[in-house]
Amino acid sequence: MNVSTDLYQRKPLPAGFLDDARTLIGDRLQTGEAIRLQHGSSETHFDPVLPDAVAFVHSTEEVAALVRLCVATDVPIIPFGAGTSLEGNVTPIAGGLTIDLSEMNAIIEVNQEDFDCTVQAGVRREQLNEYLRDQGLFFPIDPGANATIGGMASTRASGTNAVRYGTMREAILSLRVVTPDGKIIRTARRARKSAAGYDLTRLMIGAEGTLGIITEITLRLHGIPEAISSAVCSFDTLKGAVDTVVQSIQIGVPVARIEILDDQQMRASNAYSKLDFPELTTLMFEFHGSERYVREQAETVGEIAAANGGGEFRWSNLPEERSQLWKARHEAYYAAIGQRPGAVGWSTDVCVPISRLAECIVETKADLAVSAVPSTIVGHVGDGNFHVIFAIDPAAPEEMREVQALNDKLVARALAMDGTCTGEHGIGLGKQKFLVDELGDAIDLMRLVKKAIDPRNLFNPGKIFQL
């Protein structure tokens, strides 16, 4: 998709800017085309737009110094983590300086008795859980990609465990943030609750770097469960699978994960991840708790699945089996686009109230069935969130237009059900018009907040909404 830069005419960097930036961070300021392309490209269908330079920072103080330089010289600033976002969230449409926080990857402290930790923004979720394992703790937010914690905070990420453990909104206690005037602030303390002033922590969560650059995050942690068990169950009908999810949630079974993969996705995943599951709509489950509690949960869900036409549960109790199963789930995007060599991926997501989930997915599946563009459905259906992944021929512009129309219809359906245009991808560039449809005049209040905090519109300009 071409990115419109009409409102953001690129200006050349001011004379001396690169020299001043190198004075601050030395040769960690990069201007090579390959590095710039890496930081201007998206995981999905957005065309590349290159920043003018990339700064690899090592501390909050370096971020603040670079911000002050950029503000003084009117240079746009784009924070960057792992680059795994899906809606053009870090595309530098106005050029400027991309600040890469991936080398700020220190785990600062773990407070085992308080079940929390503080990390730098560049820490990856897999890195954190590997570090925590020996202390009997884990961080549950699992968006699939091995994203940075800072990026996950900025996009309000969630993932496969959200049905039980919530999203980044619930997982974060406090943030350290560099504001658009170059100040370093802490949004809260480590207390589990507070009524002290405006909730700046949640203002920054999901702001996609438009209000500040998150450099440190204090997170809630959880104890590793005594027992973990996974299962896979295939269904003859899509409705039977979704009804199993809805009924399990409605009777209060605290399932840790419930993922859905439609028949097309199972075909793709079997080929890509070397699996041998039936190529039918499939649910993947994970249960956490004591041995007895896990068994009771699984038996209850198994009975519900059977009543809805589900086949036999295939258990994955050994850690290596569970790891293979969830690795395949996390590879679903690459499996989907891998069905079509040379394809460009477009992954979209919506989230609806759980009571409308079956209706929304079944109607969406009917739309996809008459489309010529290969597509799959996969999602975190335990909380009403699902994705559609399209594999588009980049040499066929009519396919891009068709997918745009299908995406429009999907989002309109979700909004009509009082859902949201995005459960976890964020708005970025791709869903701005839907945000207006979803929230109406509330966007004007968002604009006021943006103008008050970043009056010169230098922090990730052009994202979420237009000023």
d(CA 228, CA 109): 27
Tens of pLDDT, residues 177-219: 999 999 999 999 999 999 999 999 999 999 999 999 999 999 9
Q: What are phi and psi of 303, to 5 degrees?
A: -65, -40
If you average pLDDT over residues 376-391, what whole number do you get?
95
Q: Please report, as a single letter, which amino acid is at residue 256.
A: A
User: What is the pLDDT of the chain when averaged over all its residues?
Assistant: 95
Q: Which of 1-10, 38-47, 345-354 has the highest mean pLDDT?
A: 345-354
Predicted local confidence at residue 318, as pLDDT: 79
Tens of pLDDT, residues 140-185: 999 878 999 999 999 999 999 999 999 999 999 999 999 999 999 9
Equal fold, 227-327 vs 334-436: yes
The answer to whether residue 2 scores a pLDDT higher than 80 is no
Question: Over pLDDT 90: what percentage of the chain?
Answer: 91
Choose the CATH number for 107-223 among 3.50.50.60, 3.40.190.10, 3.30.465.10, 1.10.10.10.
3.30.465.10
d(CA 48, CA 35): 12
The answer to whether residue 398 scores a pLDDT higher than 60 is yes
Predicted local confidence at residue 6, as pLDDT: 52
d(CA 215, CA 149): 10
If you average pLDDT over residues 314-341, what whole number do you get?
89
Of 322-331, 342-351, 406-415, the one with minimum mean pLDDT is 322-331
The answer to whether residue 353 scores a pLDDT higher than 80 is yes
The CATH number of the structural domain formed by 227-327 is: 3.30.70.2190
Predicted local confidence at residue 7, as pLDDT: 53
Q: What are phi and psi of 461, to 5 degrees?
A: -60, 150
Tens of pLDDT, residues 297-327: 999 999 999 999 999 888 877 788 888 889 9
> How many CB atoms sit inside 10 A of residue 69's CB?
20
Question: Over pLDDT 70: what percentage of the chain?
Answer: 98
Q: What is the pTM of this model?
A: 0.95
Classify 345 in phi/psi space as left (phi over 0), alpha (psi -120 to 50) or beta: beta
Break the chain into its structural domains and give their ranges. Answer: 17-103, 107-223, 227-327, 334-436
The answer to whether residue 15 scores a pLDDT higher than 60 is yes
Non-local (6+) Cβ contacts of 411 within 8 A are: 348, 350, 421, 431, 434, 437
Nearest CA-CA partner of 61 in 27, 105, 25, 7: 25
Tell me 286's DSSP state.
E
The answer to whether residue 3 scores a pLDDT higher than 80 is no
Tokens of 278: 């039936």
Nearest CA-CA partner of 174 in 105, 88, 91, 116: 116
Non-local (6+) Cβ contacts of 306 within 8 A are: none
d(CA 96, CA 11): 8
Q: Are 241 and 260 in contact (CB under 8 A)?
A: yes
Tens of pLDDT, residues 102-123: 999 999 999 999 999 999 999 9
Non-local (6+) Cβ contacts of 389 within 8 A are: 265, 332, 333, 336, 337, 345, 346, 347, 375, 376, 377, 378
Nearest CA-CA partner of 216 in 24, 70, 59, 111: 59
> How many CB atoms sit inside 10 A of residue 175's CB?
24
**Any idea which architecture 17-103 has in CATH?**
2-Layer Sandwich (3.30)
The answer to whether residue 18 scores a pLDDT higher than 80 is yes
The CATH number of the structural domain formed by 334-436 is: 3.30.70.2740
Tens of pLDDT, residues 280-290: 999 999 999 99
